[in-house]
């Protein structure tokens, strides 16, 4: 349970909030207005990939802002081009074409649009437990009555939902009206539930058999969070496109679709667009963020510290199972996760919950260090007595 107290009545009361006002951040730490430090195992909702306000990212933003804050895509910009090349270098072949937008929902919206455009079909198959955003098209693909209701009100047909990792059910949902299968290789909101490699391989084969496109939503699990830059690479299954956002620019809004040429080979001027997409400042932040991830060996850090967290968490009382990969972990408990999340506040530790009321979600910065993992495990041990 987060606090629901409105801070000002001018803001719509749509967000539950943590019990602090942050005035600063560094690495995996937030500093509140009383000068107290909070250990952030929530990573600003999987956004602070190189940590909060990494000096290199701050410098890149300041430098680019001083030179040119913004010009639209009517003017070519080296940072946008370099970032596209970098994402292609870090994505599995043949994914080598990039479109920039501003958020995770937008990235999914655009990859759905590309799949529908290419196939001339409209039906989409998605997973139970999947979460894809709050535009009308992505609400239609997100699991949960309150989300689907929004799509229904907008007159957008709902996706066909199948049980995650159930190959037979997926097979039953596929026919020649399906434009795309959209899924998170590691589901975030549902509590860090991981796809099996067999399921992803079957999804690939079924899409190929029916002429549909396979789309990965890596908005939460991508950009290094599973310990490889893309989750696709981790599973060895290559989709037709990947949506990225959250951790890409360590806090500035950006979204990207990285697509196979076969999905976009007939794209022409005006087919897609976004005023702010790929703006100079978010691109500078993303380039600096990725440079930090590479230079500081953060993918390796994710793999090592994740193993420490998983084995440490498995040894705790009241932990039934640890789900997920890398730094997208779900601690399934024998008690309400919201109570544990709240109890951790007394230790000034931030974690996330999920749609499974008994799963506590951990999504720290990719730089979350071994000693910080120990602090988190100590706090969990104190709370789970």
Ligand X SMILES: Cc1ncc(COP(=O)(O)O)c(C=O)c1O
Rank residues 90 and 245 by Cβ distance to ligand X and give the closer one: 245
Rank residues 102 and 306 by Cβ distance to ligand X and give the closer one: 102
Rank residues 219 and 288 by Cβ distance to ligand X and give the closer one: 219
Task: Answer yes or no: are the C-beta atoms of 213 and 203 closer than 8 Å.
Answer: no
Q: How far is the CB of 103 from ligand X (least distance, A)?
A: 4
| Interface pick for ligand X out of 77, 132, 210, 348 (rule CB under 6 A) | 132
Q: Give the angle 55-107-135 at the CA atoms, nearest 5°.
A: 115
Rank residues 143 and 240 by Cβ distance to ligand X and give the closer one: 143
What is the C-alpha to C-alpha distance for residues 250 and 292, in angstroms, rounded to an integer? Answer: 11
Task: Answer yes or no: are the C-beta atoms of 188 and 245 closer than 8 Å.
Answer: no
Q: Which of residues 318-357 bind ligand X (CB under 6 A)?
A: none
Q: How far is the CB of 108 from ligand X (least distance, A)?
A: 6
Rank residues 105 and 202 by Cβ distance to ligand X and give the closer one: 105
What are the angstrom distances between the C-alpha of 134 and each of 77, 179, 193, 196, 225?
30, 20, 21, 27, 22
Task: Answer yes or no: are the C-beta atoms of 48 and 29 closer than 8 Å.
Answer: no
Q: Mark the segment that binds ligand X (CB under 6 A) among 67-75, 171-179, 183-191, 279-287.
A: 183-191
Instruction: Calculate Rg over the CA atoms of the chain.
Output: 20
| Interface pick for ligand X out of 18, 99, 100, 131 (rule CB under 6 A) | 131
Rank residues 91 and 220 by Cβ distance to ligand X and give the closer one: 220
Rank residues 220 and 230 by Cβ distance to ligand X and give the closer one: 220
Task: Answer yes or no: are the C-beta atoms of 210 and 174 closer than 8 Å.
Answer: yes
Rank residues 205 and 276 by Cβ distance to ligand X and give the closer one: 276
Tally the C-alpha atoms within 13 A of residue 247's C-alpha that lie toward its C-beta: 31
x/- letters, 135..154, toward ligand X (CB under 6 A)? --------------------
Rank residues 217 and 356 by Cβ distance to ligand X and give the closer one: 217
Phi/psi of residue 194, each to 5°? -100, 135
x/- letters, 98..117, toward ligand X (CB under 6 A)? -----xxx--x---------
Q: How far is the CB of 81 from ligand X (least distance, A)?
A: 23
Task: Answer yes or no: are the C-beta atoms of 358 and 340 closer than 8 Å.
Answer: no
Phi/psi of residue 38, each to 5°? -120, 135
Residue nearest to ligand X (CB): 104
H or E segment to which residue 255 belongs: strand 255-259
Q: How far is the CB of 115 from ligand X (least distance, A)?
A: 16
What is the C-alpha to C-alpha distance for residues 176 and 198, in angstroms, rounded to an integer? Answer: 22
Q: How far is CA 288 from the centre of its chain?
A: 19
| Interface pick for ligand X out of 27, 133, 312, 326 (rule CB under 6 A) | 133
Q: How far is the CB of 117 from ligand X (least distance, A)?
A: 20
DSSP 74-125: TS--HHHHHHHHHHHHHS-TT--EEEEESSHHHHHHHHHHHHHHHHS--EEE
Number of residues that bind ligand X (CB under 6 A): 14
Q: Mark the segment that binds ligand X (CB under 6 A) among 125-133, 169-177, 283-291, 348-356.
A: 125-133
Q: Which of residues 202-261 bind ligand X (CB under 6 A)?
A: 217, 219-220, 245
Q: How far is the CB of 57 from ligand X (least distance, A)?
A: 18
| Interface pick for ligand X out of 143, 184, 233, 356 (rule CB under 6 A) | 184
Burial of 168 (0-12, 13-18, 19+ CB in 10 A): exposed
Rank residues 133 and 280 by Cβ distance to ligand X and give the closer one: 133
Interaction site with ligand X (CB under 6 A) = 103-105, 108, 131-133, 184, 188-189, 217, 219-220, 245
């Amino acid at each position: 349970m987060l606090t629901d107290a409105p801070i000002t009545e001018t803001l719509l009361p749509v967000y539950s909030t943590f019990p602090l006002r942050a005035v600063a951040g560094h690495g995996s730490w937030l500093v509140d207005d009383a000068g107290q430090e909070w250990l952030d195992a929530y990573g600003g909702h999987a956004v602070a990939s190189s940590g909060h306000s990494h000096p290199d990212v701050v410098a890149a933003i300041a430098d680019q802002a001083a030179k040119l804050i913004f010009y639209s895509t009517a003017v070519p910009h080296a940072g946008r081009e370099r970032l596209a090349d970098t994402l292609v270098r870090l994505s599995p072949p043949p994914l080598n074409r990039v479109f920039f937008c501003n958020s995770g929902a937008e990235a999914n919206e655009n990859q759905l649009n590309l799949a529908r455009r290419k196939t001339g079909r409209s039906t989409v198959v998605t997973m139970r437990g999947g979460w894809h955003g709050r535009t009308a098209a992505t609400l239609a693909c997100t699991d949960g009555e309150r989300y689907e209701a929004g799509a229904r009100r907008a007159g957008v047909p709902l996706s066909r939902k199948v049980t995650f990792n159930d190959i037979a059910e997926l097979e039953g949902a596929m026919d020649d009206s399906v434009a795309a299968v959209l899924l998170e290789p590691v589901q975030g909101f549902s509590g860090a539930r991981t796809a099996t490699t067999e399921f992803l391989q079957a999804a690939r084969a079924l899409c190929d058999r029916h002429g549909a496109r396979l789309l990965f939503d890596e908005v939460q699990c991508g950009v290094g969070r599973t310990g490889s830059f893309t989750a696709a690479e981790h599973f060895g299954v290559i989709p037709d496109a990947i949506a990225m956002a959250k951790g890409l620019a360590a806090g500035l809004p950006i979204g990207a679709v990285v697509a196979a040429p076969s999905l976009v080979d007939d794209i022409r001027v005006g087919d897609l667009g976004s005023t702010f997409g790929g703006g100079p400042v978010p691109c500078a932040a993303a380039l600096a963020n990725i440079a930090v991830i590479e230079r500081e060996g953060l993918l390796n850090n994710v793999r090592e510290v994740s193993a420490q967290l998983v084995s440490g968490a498995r040894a705790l009382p009241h932990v039934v199972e640890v789900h997920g990969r890398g730094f997208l972990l779900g601690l399934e408990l024998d008690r309400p996760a919201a109570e544990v999340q709240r109890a951790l506040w007394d230790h000034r530790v931030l974690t996330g919950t999920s749609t499974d009321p008994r799963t506590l979600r951990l999504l720290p910065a990719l730089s979350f260090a071994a000693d910080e993992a120990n602090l988190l495990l100590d706090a969990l041990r104190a709370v789970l007595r």
